[in-house]
Amino acid sequence: MPTHEFILALDQGTTSSRAIVFDRSGAVRGTGQREFRQYYPQPGWVEHDAGEIWRTQIEVAREALRNAGASAADVAAIGITNQRETTLIWERATGRPLARALVWQDRRTAPICEQLRQDGHADWLQERTGLVVDAYFSGTKLCWLLDNVPGARQAAERGELAFGTIDTWLVWHLTGGKVHSTDATNAARTMLYDLHSHDWNDDILALLRIPRSLLPQVAPSSGEVGRTLPELLGGAIPIAGVAGDQHAATFGQACFTPGMAKNTYGTGCFMLMNVGDQPVASSNNLLSTLGWMLPSPSGPRTTYMLEGGIFVAGAAVQWLRDGLGIIPRSADVEALATQVEDTDDVFLVPAFAGLGAPHWDPYARGAMIGLTRGTTRAHIARATLESIALQSAELLACMNADSGIDLSELRVDGGATRNDLLMQMQADLLGVPVVRPRVAESTALGAAGLAGLAVGFWQSLDEFAAQWRADRRFEPAWPADRREARLKRWRQAVEHAKGWARQD
């Protein structure tokens, strides 16, 4: 008889596809990872090959099982977590994408968003979706694809096409095209989903001229949506948990009580705070979003979040490596930055893809200011790390104001949390402790948790949360006046980056 000792988490990110096998203690037992190509056909455009995403994801799933010494019979369920907002359309009959996927970072629909704002739609769209009108979200990307891919709109109106974010694309292929679904967290990031009615909003679909037949069914974040084709992984495994990457990371960090928050440091940087069972409207340009939706005997239970997103965080370090060539590996940035005690008043505003919360300026572009003949590679490296911490500090101040809660600690995850200098910078600029967990794979662990709860692998949220352990706490060392002075100087630098790409 199968023992179902493991959960397999598929973690489909912006630059790589990963898979991780977890055991009941939440420990990692096997992993696999593949990077895939990024396409930049025009300034501000970012695309992915959806076929390559599927191929790399199934390859790493098999690799992770091999590395864990596990077969399909040992796996209780699969959890999926994914880069959010990335948008694609494909033929229902063949599964063939009509174009490359438009990545969440892609800014080509900024003019559509500007027109929506000028036409007076921004406020009611935010009231219904919790989102500001921005090219970040899937709705205008889908509109663009229908208008610009030859024959797409006509095929969509005939019911021949399917739309999905990356979770939907993976579920479609894992089930051999039998299941066209998304979960509530991913749906809530499209700017097409009503946070209050928990359904696609027909008024928004009409505004953007999107046929409802394109859209997937919306399911809770925890619960079986289908089973894998046996030939893919050696058996039919339940797909029982799906959540966007930031929601999954918040779940994996066991932020189950209102007022708890986490920040994920990846390609971008995303801070989410649990605000309870009712959405909180932001007065500071943050997003009101769905944290997760869990089944219960009385109907789905929804937890809501406030969120602030930074478009460029770890990607700024990659730019130092690939664009400027001042470090051979991303991991080398910490050693270089520690060669100087401060940035010597140099600031990097990494608005390479515009600015996210709380500024929401798609026309902002990267700026480095304060350079002198004394500026060195080390100053630039330190300014790059500090830019990540400064952007996050700005978000937390907005969250405290919106929620009425002063955060007592920030739980952190993502690859950049291995950088002790960055984590200490973050604590100093926030004025609260920064806590790094023992299991760094919070995003994948959250997807595993959602799947495991659905199939009884873990019996309760409390049992799952009991696995969480701190690895290290970074205590703030700066006095309040120093922190405020640095943030004031940062805001000055940001103003220089705003609006740079606007052509009028």
Find out whether 303 and 292 touch, Cβ atoms under 8 Å: yes
* 16 carries a ligand binding annotation: yes
* 85 carries a ligand binding annotation: yes
Find out whether 75 and 4 touch, Cβ atoms under 8 Å: yes
* 415 carries a ligand binding annotation: yes
All residues at 6 or more sequence positions from 330 whose CB lies less than 8 Å from its CB, including other chains: 314, 317, 318, 320, 321
* 158 carries a ligand binding annotation: no
* 282 carries a ligand binding annotation: no
Residue type, 43: P
* 130 carries a ligand binding annotation: no
* Cα–Cα distance measured from residue 256 to residue 421, given in angstroms and rounded to the nearest whole number: 28
**Of the candidates 314, 190, 232, which has an alpha carbon nearest to the alpha carbon of residue 57?**
232
**Of the candidates 263, 259, 131, 127, which has an alpha carbon nearest to the alpha carbon of residue 189?**
131
Residue type, 21: V
Element (H, E) at 23: none
C-alpha torsion 71→74→78→79, nearest 10: -120
* 246 carries a ligand binding annotation: yes
Element (H, E) at 125: helix 122-129
**Of the candidates 70, 450, 68, 82, which has an alpha carbon nearest to the alpha carbon of residue 254?**
450
* 391 carries a ligand binding annotation: no
**Of the candidates 56, 64, 73, 82, which has an alpha carbon nearest to the alpha carbon of residue 8?**
64
* Cα–Cα distance measured from residue 330 to residue 263, given in angstroms and rounded to the nearest whole number: 20
* 84 carries a ligand binding annotation: yes
Q: Map tokens 């739309």 to a residue.
A: 163
Find out whether 64 and 30 touch, Cβ atoms under 8 Å: yes
How is 251-319 classified by DSSP, letter by letter? HHTT--STT-EEEEESSSEEEEEEEESS----SSSPEEEEEEEE--TTS-EEEEEEEEEES-SHHHHHH
Beta bridge partners of 96: none
* 87 carries a ligand binding annotation: no
**Of the candidates 452, 458, 451, which has an alpha carbon nearest to the alpha carbon of residue 225?**
451
* 472 carries a ligand binding annotation: no
Three-state SS for 1?
A: coil
* 82 carries a ligand binding annotation: no
Find out whether 8 and 64 touch, Cβ atoms under 8 Å: yes
Q: Map tokens 């949390």 to a residue.
A: 417
Six-digit token string for 415: 């690859």
* 314 carries a ligand binding annotation: yes
* 245 carries a ligand binding annotation: yes
* Residue stretches of the annotated binding site for ATP: 14-16, 267, 314, 318, 415
Question: Which residues sit in the known binding site for sn-glycerol 3-phosphate?
Answer: 14, 84-85, 136, 245
Question: What are the binding residues?
Answer: 14-16, 18, 84-85, 136, 245-246, 267, 314, 318, 415, 419
Q: Which residues are annotated as a binding site for ADP?
A: 14, 18, 267, 314, 415, 419
- Binding annotation for glycerol: 84-85, 136, 245-246
